[in-house]
Amino acid sequence: MATVYVLNGPNLNLLGSRETAVYGAMTLADIEKSCAETAKRHGHSVVFRQSNHEGELVDWLHEAKQKAAGVVINPGAYTHTSIALQDAIRAIGIPVVEVHLSNIFAREEFRHHSYVSPVARGVICGFGPKGYELAIDGLANALSA
């Protein structure tokens, strides 16, 4: 059984009450449950975390290098600003899938650039909470190849 880290960036703790027209009505706890169920179907377990602090996300990526087979990350707004996350993902050497609830390319221009995408194994956006399940499915496929 492999462990998959699912890491969530700033403001995702407000899911279910924050801009529901954009992000949907599911809470982060709902998404965590869905991720655990999806990973279990593949024989994997999930470590699910959220932080509003960039450095904490970097620390968790470093930890994942030692404890996880792969990472699913929704970096939130850090997607568009964090070279530190890009460097951490490049450094850990395990597959990372970037996920976004909304289609970042259908939103404001500044959201069209991701510092994470160039170092991610794959990117999923625009499918709401289902994107997390798709990311875990894709990661599980990559891990079994």
**Residues labelled catalytic:** 23, 100
Whether the CB-CB separation of 131 and 33 falls below 8 Å is answered with: no
Backbone angles phi, psi at 6, to 5 degrees: -115, 110
DSSP 8-state assignment for residue 71: E
Cα–Cα distance, 69 to 71 (Å, whole number): 7
Which 3 state secondary structure label does DSSP give 46? strand
The count of residues in the chain is 145
Give Dmax over CA atoms of the chain in angstroms.
Answer: 41
Question: Both tokens of residue 71?
Answer: 């990472």
Residue burial 91-101, b: 16+ Cβ < 10 Å; e: rest? ebebbbbbbbb
